[in-house]
Chain A
Amino acid sequence: MRPLDALAKVCGDVRPGEPAEGVLGVEPALVAAPENVTEAADVMRVAAENGLAVVPRGAETRLDWGAPPERCDLLVDTHRLDGLIEHAAGDLVAKAEAGLPMERLAEKLAERDQRLALDVPLPGSTVGGTIATGAAGPLRSLYGTPRSLVIGLTIVRADGQVARSGGKVVKNVAGYDLGRLFSGSFGTLGLIVDATFRLHPVPAATAYVVCAVSGPEDAHDAVQTVLHCAVAPSAVEYIGPSGTVAVLLEGVPDGVAARARQTADLLGENAEISGTAPDGWGRYPDGTTLIDISAPPPALRDLLTLLGPDIAVTWSGSGHGHVGLPAESTPDEVADVLGRLRDALGRHRGGAVVRYTPEEVRGEIDLWGPVPALALMRRVKDQFDPDHRLSPGRFAGGI
């Protein structure tokens, strides 16, 4: 039987791929959109039986991240897996299918004044894609990233077996936490089909304190002032090239008002209190090259110094950020910035990873930089995907 027919027997939505659906130019032979876990498992099993290379796809918001797959026989599309399986509001827990868009999840949770405390830098992105790419925004400073908020995960393995880890209680140390392992694994270990999240109440009040800073020194001082004071911000962001330090406060109305004033006083005369987020908040910086950086707070000064005043950057107080390079950057220029970032951030035990960049640049640079424990990663990959059929080559070290 042809793979298409075999797949069609187990899944209601199977078709040949189209050129426009290429993953970084690699056109999929087939596209399957399972409707539930059973279909997803069957699709993966059939793919295994036929030796198909599989790339999972959510809303395509980050399909251009990383390296192109070595091959792509089958795109597993999750758009039909889009249910909110359970919202246990009393337990502050929700279970959602992988294809559910984050905004729709947020709407449903908001009905009970709750939220998944993750920013959505790219509108439309799905629950599964968010986990697979470890995506987060400014709120990461207080609430963490998907790895901190996923408390249960269901995946389909390369061989089509369904496996769960964690559960639906926040406090749980039974067994290995595959939720954390799968966060940011870019579809190379298995297909994420649903996830259970820890939720937070929607705060009764929020305020932003926004302060224009002039230069790296000033930015560093402003950030340090806020980090070491007692106002307990939910997020502290630097946004460039505008040169803004912005602080998010969440809580009860009286508390937020008082803390906003306190924060504004600390930041000095440039600080303003606002009800809305400043421009660029929670979005990736503009550009055709996006570099994900790990830069602890003391590295901010060096980071901004080396980037200069014109390069777009966002950085969170937790020590993570993004740099955007403009379309006109030559491969050499990208390589140069990247090299200098890795040197400077390496001194602070940080690093820089290229998320996306034009094809002509991609060939000229090392997207990942040094990958500690790469041998161990390969061995884990070999266990989960011995035939290297899951998003082959998309990930660090060619995994």
Chain B
Amino acid sequence: MEARLAVLAARLEELLGAGRVITDPVRLRTYECDGLTNHRSTPAVVVLPDTAEQIAGIVRECAAAGTPYVARGSGTGLSGGALPRADGVLIVTSRMRRILEIDIPGQRAVVEPGVVNLDVTRAVRPHGYYFAPDPSSQQICSVGGNVAENSGGAHCLKYGFTAHHVLSCEVVTPDGEIVELPADGPGYDLLGVFVGAEGTLGITTKITVRLTRLPETVQTLLAAFGSIEAGGGAVSAIIGAGVVPAAIEMMDALSIEAAEAAVRCEYPPGAGAVLIVELDGPEAEVAAQFTEVERLCRDAGAFEIRIAADDEERALIWKGRKSAFAAVGRISPAYIVQDGVIPRTALPQVLAQIDALSAESGVRVANVFHAGDGNLHPLVLFDDAEPGAEERAEAVSGAILDLCIEHGGSITGEHGVGVDKSRYMPRMFTDTDLDTMQMVRCGFDPDGLCNPGKVFPTPRLCGEVPGVRRGAHPYEGKADLF
């Protein structure tokens, strides 16, 4: 290790105690990537703090040493947002996992950043509440990570994203201060921009989340269609009828095949697409809407409709969908999970275009998506043993994002930009747009040490603001030059 980093590691050990600072190369390497494995970088130092004060101390040490740092929760991100820096410190919050307060009358809970998403729900369910954001990785992803990524989930169609369920964050700023950012306080809504900033504005150390009342009832149906187009028609009809389901998910034939191979979900044979529609809420409300959804699905050409009679049957319906990503491993040696968004009404058109892309390139694409909000998860399949196959898959994957942008959509609906998609940002935003976003960054982190290299393809030099009147005097810090 570089001498400079060795000194820093020693200081961090003083701060945290032995056993909380990892410098052994074999151990460090286990932290080389998060949930996205095609970007890897072994951190110079890993620290496992227990308190906000320790994180503030770590950040101050890093700032003093000019060393970059990256925060990581459970390491499940799919855009490399927690990719470490080889010349930096990885701050792992997985030991900060206490639920500090449950306030049912106030419908909120206060948790540490390492608390697992689903553990919040587990803790409050006996009171009739849950934490609404439900990313597929909710059994392991951390609330701190959810804040960084503004995580959604299958049910965010109705309930919104993490940003809508966080009331306040205690944050360690890049200058090592601990500040509270409330959603509803005087002044700027800094929380609003902090949530979803992918850890580039600071590290959250305590999160006040909003708790949502468990719905009185949940109804789930599975509808099988001959084609994706027919399924898409059903989605349009449902939304057009003014129904806001908790979730609408769609899978195409290839992803159904994969799920079948992996978990034997026994979806109706011969389906070109299956649609999972879930409604929740008060019984009287759901009953009426559910009948309508069922009718709309039939009218749109569903040849089989299954209705879950209980939680077990519901789990069976969801099993195929939830396993889909991992299941694709059964039908392909390797694959890229893409995450793009299109206006929902463009669905048939874009899917036809993806089909054409696939036919043209010979690269197979399985489609799984949150149909209600147009969030596509094309799974681009390839054989990593075949020379050039990965590059071809990458090209198709990138072309799909171009389609999303062309139709007025987004390059990411929930996985984040991270390190993986920063190069696509200029296709979606102008230089000025990106420059403007980075003004926020410069306000928070002028030295660019907090999770650098993420989100933005090129960092903004924070000194370049014309006519700066505040902050450091231009001559400050230059004394040693003379």
Contacts and interface: CB of A to CB of B under 8 A. Distances in A.
A257 B430 CA distance: 50
B479 interface: no
A275 interface: no
Contacts of A169: 341-343, 373-374, 408-410, 413
A94 interface: no
Interface in B303-339: none
A255 B181 CA distance: 39
B276 interface: no
A163 B432 contact: yes
Contact of B425 (A170, A175, A297): A175
A201 B434 CA distance: 33
A377 to B, nearest CB: 5
B341 A172 contact: yes
Given A91-B345, A173-B416, A185 B433 contact: no
Interface in A333-374: 348-351, 353, 368-374
B467 interface: yes
A169 B350 CA distance: 15
A162 B239 CA distance: 34
B289 interface: yes
Contact of A298 (B103, B196, B408): B103
A129 B294 CA distance: 42
Given A172-B413, A353-B186, A255 B215 contact: no
A167 B190 contact: no
A280 interface: no
12 contacts: A134-B189, A148-B164, A169-B341, A169-B409, A174-B410, A175-B428, A181-B192, A230-B282, A256-B285, A373-B179, A374-B187, A382-B470
6 nearest A-B residue pairs (beta carbon): A180-B192, A255-B285, A201-B242, A163-B436, A380-B443, A258-B284
Nearest to A151: B410
A254 interface: yes
Interface string A37-64: 0000000000000000000000000000
Contacts of B442: 383
B193 A173 contact: no
B34 interface: no
Given A380-B190, A383-B440, 7 more contacts: A165-B433, A175-B428, A179-B192, A232-B285, A320-B184, A371-B186, A383-B442
Nearest to B188: A377
A134 B187 CA distance: 11
Interface stretch (A281-289, A307-315, A384-392): A384-392
A164 B104 contact: no
B451 to A, nearest CB: 13
B436 A174 contact: no
A54 B416 CA distance: 36
B59 interface: no
A296 interface: yes
A179 B220 CA distance: 34
Nearest to B197: A176
A64 B469 CA distance: 28
Nearest to B79: A173
A167 B409 contact: yes
A181 B187 CA distance: 10
A298 B105 contact: yes
B409 A384 contact: no
A201 B285 CA distance: 15
B193 A176 contact: yes
Interface of B: 103-108, 128, 149-150, 152, 156, 160-161, 163-164, 168, 171, 173, 177, 179-193, 195-197, 208, 213-216, 236, 239-240, 242-244, 281-282, 284-289, 341-345, 370, 373-375, 408-417, 421, 425, 428-430, 432-437, 439-444, 446, 455, 462, 465-471
B301 to A, nearest CB: 19
Contacts of A274: none
Interface of A: 88, 90-93, 113, 134, 144, 147-148, 155, 157, 159, 161-165, 167-181, 183-185, 189, 200-204, 224, 227-232, 251-252, 254-259, 262, 294, 296-298, 319-320, 348-351, 353, 368-384, 386-388, 395-397, 399
A368 B186 contact: yes
A215 to B, nearest CB: 18
A174 B215 CA distance: 31
A171 B341 contact: yes
Nearest to A161: B432
A161 B439 CA distance: 13
Contact of B412 (A172, A224, A262, A384): A172
A348 B103 CA distance: 11
A161 B187 contact: no
Given A228-B104, A371-B185, A174 B428 contact: yes
B42 to A, nearest CB: 27
A380 B444 contact: yes
Contacts of B177: 375
Given A175-B417, A374-B187, A380-B443, A387 B467 contact: yes
A254 B284 contact: yes
A174 B414 CA distance: 9
Nearest to A380: B443
Contacts of B444: 376, 379-380
Nearest to A367: B186
Given A171-B374, A373-B180, A176 B437 contact: yes
B144 to A, nearest CB: 16
A173 B413 contact: yes
Given A167-B409, A296-B108, A174 B193 contact: no
B345 A88 contact: yes
Given A169-B343, A169-B408, A172-B412, A369 B186 contact: yes
Contact of B429 (A164, A180, A370, A387): A164
Nearest to A259: B282
A399 B187 contact: yes
B432 A386 contact: no
Nearest to B200: A176
Contact of A232 (B282, B409, B414, B470): B282
Contacts of A294: 182, 184-185
Contacts of B410: 167, 169, 171-174
A319 B182 CA distance: 13
A93 B197 contact: no
A283 to B, nearest CB: 20
A296 B282 contact: no
A397 B185 CA distance: 13
Nearest to A253: B288
Contacts of B432: 157, 161-163
